[in-house]
Chains A and B, each alone.
Chain A
Amino acid sequence: MATQASLDNPPQVPSQTSSTGRGFPTGLAVLTGFTGVMLLAASYMVFVYAPMERTLGNVQRIFYFHVASAWAGALAFLVALVAGIVFLINGKMQWDRVGKSSVEVGLMLLTITLTSGPIWGQYAWGNPWPAWDPKLTSAAVTWLSYAAYLMLRQGIDDPRRRARFAAIYVIIAFTSVIFTYVGVRFVEQTIHPHVVGPSASTGEGDFGVSARIGQTLGFSLLTFTAVYATLLAHRLRLENLSERIKQVKSAVLARQG
């Protein structure tokens, strides 16, 4: 039926040109430029505006992008969760594409968190990855869960079955995000300090947040939110374009066959 519909009304070949002439729409170009400026401003605040921390020295400045990327990663997985739920309700494939794109960007952001953290840990704890620390372990489990999501998607050919599986998977996988970001607060044994609220008694590497440190952290959080939104928009645009090309290819092959 779908093939017959494609033959009767073949999809158009997507256009390469855009309102900017550079391959993407004006709104996306503005968002990308705005995010670039924010990244530059955030870098200035991290390296120049924020004061040096007395106990750890310059390495404490890792904290700003480490926390911000962790926040944006969690936001990405939350968006994927919402997209999965909406897909299960209305069955529109667009939501599957939102979920997939958001998970991919979120995984990249969580990779930044998981690689920058151990460098800080080496100086703060004398160990980049204290074995079986609840926060670190659950963050690693979260990363693996979403990496598996992208891999497992490739194993299902039928798009609607794949989308349904993916939607259910992200709902289950989000439990690891809840534990990493919220649940671990109720576990006393973690060495990882909490940014918001008091750390556990076993936490190490905690420090007071002065006004400039707070402003820099706040701006970094906003910047990484913008980075996430921009990358999601670009990734989603590619996903939509790829989908349209697949439809045109199917129509062309059906006509030639």
Chain B
Amino acid sequence: MDLATLLQQAQTPPDTTDGLILAYVVIGVIGVAYVISLILRANNLRKDIRVLSQIKGDE
């Protein structure tokens, strides 16, 4: 192997794309899970509002 090839290899960044993908998948999953939890909690509150409106209507 000549010097030019060795230098080129030394300057080529390592392939670490796997780590990048893994990290952004983890970040995405955490973010999406939190947003879903907010949506579920909002839906539960809407159900409560419906029930309370019905009770109020019955009165």
Which residues of A approach B to under 8 Å, CB–CB?
Answer: 13-16, 23, 52-62, 65-66, 69, 105, 108, 111-112, 115-116, 119-120, 122-123, 227, 231, 234-235, 238, 241-242, 245, 248-249, 252, 255
Contacts and interface: CB of A to CB of B under 8 A. Distances in A.
Nearest to A113: B27
Say which size band chain B's interface belongs to: 20 to 34
Contacts of B16: 56-60, 123
A255 B46 CA distance: 22
A13 B49 contact: yes
Contact of A23 (B15, B22, B42, B55): B42
A238 to B, nearest CB: 6
B26 to A, nearest CB: 5
A62 B13 contact: no
Contacts of B13: 52-58
Given A23-B42, A59-B20, A241-B45, 8 more contacts: A56-B14, A58-B16, A65-B27, A119-B23, A122-B19, A238-B38, A252-B55, A252-B56
Contacts of A62: 19-20, 23-24
Nearest to B10: A54
Contacts of B59: 255
B27 A235 contact: no
17 contacts: A56-B13, A57-B13, A57-B17, A62-B23, A65-B27, A108-B31, A115-B26, A119-B23, A122-B19, A235-B38, A238-B45, A241-B45, A242-B45, A245-B48, A245-B52, A248-B52, A249-B48
Contacts, number: 96
Given A23-B42, A245-B52, A58 B17 contact: yes
Contacts of A116: 23, 26-27
B19 A59 contact: yes
A245 B26 contact: no
Contacts of B20: 58-59, 61-62
B22 to A, nearest CB: 6
A160 B27 CA distance: 36
Nearest to B22: A119
Interface in B8-56: 11, 13-17, 19-20, 22-24, 26-27, 30-31, 34-35, 38, 41-42, 45-46, 48-50, 52-53, 55-56
